Amino acid sequence: MLYLVGLGLGDVTDITVKGLEVVRKADHVYLEAYTSILCSTNGDHSSLERFYGRQVKVADRETVETSADRILDEAVNGDVALLVVGDPFGATTHTDFVLRAVQRNIPYNVIHNTSILNAVGCCGLQLYTFGETVSIPFWTETWKPDSFFDKIINNLKNNFHTLCLLDIKVKEKSIEALMKGKEVYEEPRFMTVDIAAKQLLQVIENRVAEQSILTAHNLVVGLARIGSDSQKIKCCSLQDMSCTDIGKPLHCLVIPGKLHPLEEEMLAIFK
């Protein structure tokens, strides 16, 4: 059996009772460690091992993308638990695991948990008025994609809120390392709300002639470490968010659409 086990967002204890039972009896346990991290662990999985009382193998990006079949091989004659921060279907990577398992006639079971896609409601915005979720990537000097901006504008035109997931870089090779074929990795990086706001302001400046729906004065919401004891929520203008520090990762950014009076009242708490 292949088990996909959601871990929740904040702490090692956020795993469900059902999920914990699976982890403790499985023959092999892997932690998917590149789409997200548990806020309390800061990328260190040793606290998971202590809590579970067993070894947890880290499945980084290379393992998930190039060695998925090896993990599935172990699920042919034993139980494999793949641990996922948030909910197992918060990323398409895990859908691919299920499809591969089905192709090989390997049974699978999913243990769901909280993800940022529903926990974002803690800021007071109603979940059913969110539109398409977008991802904002880190820009470089030569690579500045902005296709996410079109989706934000489309949401705003339809009076929908937009959840912006912010880029993380874990076990990424530098361009130099890729060119030279070296196994050298950059330090982990996690986009913060101020960086995301700065990039959005740059896109607005570039597109000022074609749109006026999103401006530097629009209200936005920054969220940090949702689900943890140090959770932080800040509501301010996009311009002010570009110089706001809400602490350690993980961060996400919400761009509200049309607000209901109750939503306005809730957001006022975080101004």
Residue of 109, 108, 58, 118 whose CA lies nearest to 86: 118
What pLDDT is stored for residue 15 in this prediction? Answer: 95
Report helix, strand or coil for 64.
helix
Residue of 166, 190, 185 whose CA lies nearest to 175: 185
Return phi, psi of residue 67, to 5°.
-125, 25
Residue of 133, 108, 111 whose CA lies nearest to 120: 133
Return phi, psi of residue 100, to 5°.
-65, -40
For residue 115, say whether it is annotated as part of any ligand binding site: yes
Q: Are 242 and 192 in contact (CB under 8 A)?
A: no
For residue 87, say whether it is annotated as part of any ligand binding site: yes
What pLDDT is stored for residue 179 in this prediction? Answer: 62
Give the chain's domains with CATH numbers.
Answer: 2-114 (3.40.1010.10), 117-269 (3.30.950.10)
Report helix, strand or coil for 226.
coil
What pLDDT is stored for residue 180 in this prediction? Answer: 60
HSE (CB half, 13 Å, CA atoms) of 59?
A: 25
Q: Which residues of the chain have pLDDT under 50?
A: none
For residue 257, say whether it is annotated as part of any ligand binding site: no
What pLDDT is stored for residue 255 in this prediction? Answer: 98
Q: How far is CA 247 from the centre of its chain?
A: 17
The sign of the torsion formed by the CA atoms of 34, 40, 41, 46 equals negative
- pTM flag (> 0.95): no
Say if residue 238 is preceded by a cis peptide, omega within 30 of 0. no
What pLDDT is stored for residue 172 in this prediction? Answer: 64
What pLDDT is stored for residue 185 in this prediction? Answer: 63
Give the pLDDT confidence of 225-240 residue by residue, as tens digits. 999 999 999 999 999 9
What pLDDT is stored for residue 230 in this prediction? Answer: 92
For residue 90, say whether it is annotated as part of any ligand binding site: yes
For residue 178, say whether it is annotated as part of any ligand binding site: no
For residue 20, say whether it is annotated as part of any ligand binding site: no
What value does the CA radius of gyration of the chain take, rounded to a whole number of Å? 20
Cα separation, 96 vs 69, in Å, equals 11
DSSP H/E element including 143: none
What pLDDT is stored for residue 173 in this prediction? Answer: 58
